[in-house]
Chains A and B, each alone.
Chain A
């Protein structure tokens, strides 16, 4: 009797239109294991994940060789709809992983497709409600949910067909620290209930002490570690397990820069309640707080997208705002043209292009760039602009360790010419860049301090507190 839930024998996949792919993949996953699938960008991690959820070969075309099986059945013998009764997928992107915009409709959607009767659906919906604590989430608009609630709906809808194997694609990318830790606890509980869970992610602090096996991808090849300890001892350069133990020198603090923005006694609806804040040139201020604390709203008042009900926002011109999703922000016909739209100064453009390693992409269309390159282009735009304040919204969500480190360097470089405000949940990144920490809780600035050796414990305490609040 086969005990492996998933087994790969010499699995290879090669994309149709590029030389990239994965080779000689061999592993076996047992029932009830929590498996971390990790590796840096371009390592083949997503390709392997797509093989597992069946999108390769049903959506993405290419040449597949070797054998992949689930519960003793070969993937090649299974149709997509058969596979999906065995395996549940939770995607990363909240925008498109839902097929409907109503929570109930989303939960019953797979059951409708598989022809359940209304009574069966009602029964299953009840049991999902109990299992995942969805009481307040039934019949709601998905876009009004918080990121944690959305994750819960995505998870529940992935097991409506009683799938016992679950695949997660970068769940931490859209979750704050508190919700990521909560997801870690949920996964532990799923494991206790006999689920097999595979999580593909760059960040895995929330899985500390729960992992049974690590699949580490590097250049299209797989290394299997049979325990969390073995992986830790392997000294792979990845994001940290124990984020609080990282030791990085503190940036030099310089408070002599001129003021670039000032907020006085700002109130906005129920979201901001009496905010006072001064931002200075040469300072990298990181805004932290759980989802819904008012971080984005605060950034929006600085961008003058919303007008506060009370109070004053004093800022010279608009800030340069770097959105999380670069696709909304690129308008040029080429990289060169994109930068000309910011500032038509060829000398300066050449400088930033070579500093960011984008020179060879100069004539490419911005949308032809990879995700990381698009982000570098955004940073190039920020470097060129004459704005006094630069705001980043979650610049490191979904970045591997190398990309995160290079973004940190670039952000530090920006403070030479402007004030920088960063919204982030990423503890490692925060430790690399922050001069100053502002903790926003329920629309009030609870803490505002310069980050150095003496105040580090304060930052750690905030993170621990955010975890408890969720």
Chain B
């Protein structure tokens, strides 16, 4: 099956709408619906590895929930997990954004949505920081291993401090460098930004979005019945 391409705008909208819906409708329906929807989207976009990871995380968390719920004394773990689990489909949807599109694509998608430039730049830099964070994190853990400063559960706070502090300082330095990189490339230019990756809305975009909304509407109907 050929994987489809979806306009990042659709994914962004879905990402904004999905979590807010928890305010308005039944958690259980929404949870099942979002779970299925995210899984289906992975399949459509041909992200099978990610789908497998997603299913495993979800499955393991559900497993813990059911097991702990039936054991007296540690039920709180299950209740805690069930709260966390709600966010898994949303995180999965957000991960598509970060992995599938480069920052130029995200930037132009947000621009088309008429979001103010300042916000667009901030959001893009934040999203792009995640892969950088991952890379830097691996350097730091490697360096801790070589220094003989391991992460131990005996001293979790101390250990946590070891890798969070260098990371914070890196953030500050990186923020300045990235700002400079953007500025010298004309990110402050007042003209309307164009996009090399600009794509017209396709049938797939409309279909996916319509499907998403129908599913949500279904939730309201279900609640009324």
Contacts and interface: CB of A to CB of B under 8 A. Distances in A.
Interface stretch (B15-23, B34-42, B61-69, B173-181): B173-181
B196 A341 contact: no
A118 B194 contact: yes
B186 A161 contact: yes
A291 interface: no
B104 A105 contact: yes
Contact of A327 (B128, B169, B185): B169
A93 B186 CA distance: 19
B146 A320 contact: yes
A81 interface: yes
Interface string A322-351: 010001111100000000011000000000
A328 B103 contact: no
B7 interface: no
B72 interface: no
B185 A323 contact: no
A147 interface: no
A99 interface: yes
Contacts of B73: none
A60 to B, nearest CB: 9
Contact of B177 (A53, A84, A95): A95
Given A84-B185, A121-B196, A108 B166 contact: no
A331 B176 contact: no
B185 A55 contact: no
Given A99-B181, A112-B108, A327 B170 contact: yes
A113 B174 contact: no
Interface string B123-139: 00000100110011001
B146 A84 contact: no
Contacts, number: 143
Contacts of B147: 329, 331, 341-342
Given A80-B183, A84-B185, A101 B193 contact: no
Nearest to A143: B135
Given A91-B177, A95-B174, A331 B149 contact: yes
A100 interface: yes
B197 to A, nearest CB: 8
Which bucket holds chain A's interface residue count?
35 or more
Contacts of A205: none
Contacts of A102: 102, 104
B14 interface: no
A118 B196 CA distance: 6
A303 B102 CA distance: 34
A89 interface: yes
A104 B103 CA distance: 12
A157 interface: yes
Contacts of A105: 102-105, 196-197
Contacts of B105: 105
Interface string B195-217: 11110000000000000000000
Contacts of A54: 183-184
A361 interface: no
Contact of A323 (B143, B145, B184): B143
A35 to B, nearest CB: 19
User: 7 nearest interchain CB pairs?
Assistant: A96-B177, A105-B104, A81-B189, A115-B191, A113-B186, A108-B196, A89-B184
13 contacts: A99-B103, A100-B103, A105-B104, A110-B186, A111-B196, A112-B104, A113-B189, A305-B146, A318-B148, A327-B169, A331-B144, A341-B147, A342-B147
Interface of A: 53-55, 58-59, 79-81, 84-85, 88-89, 91, 93, 95-102, 104-106, 108-118, 121, 143, 157-158, 161, 303, 305, 318-321, 323, 327-331, 341-342, 367
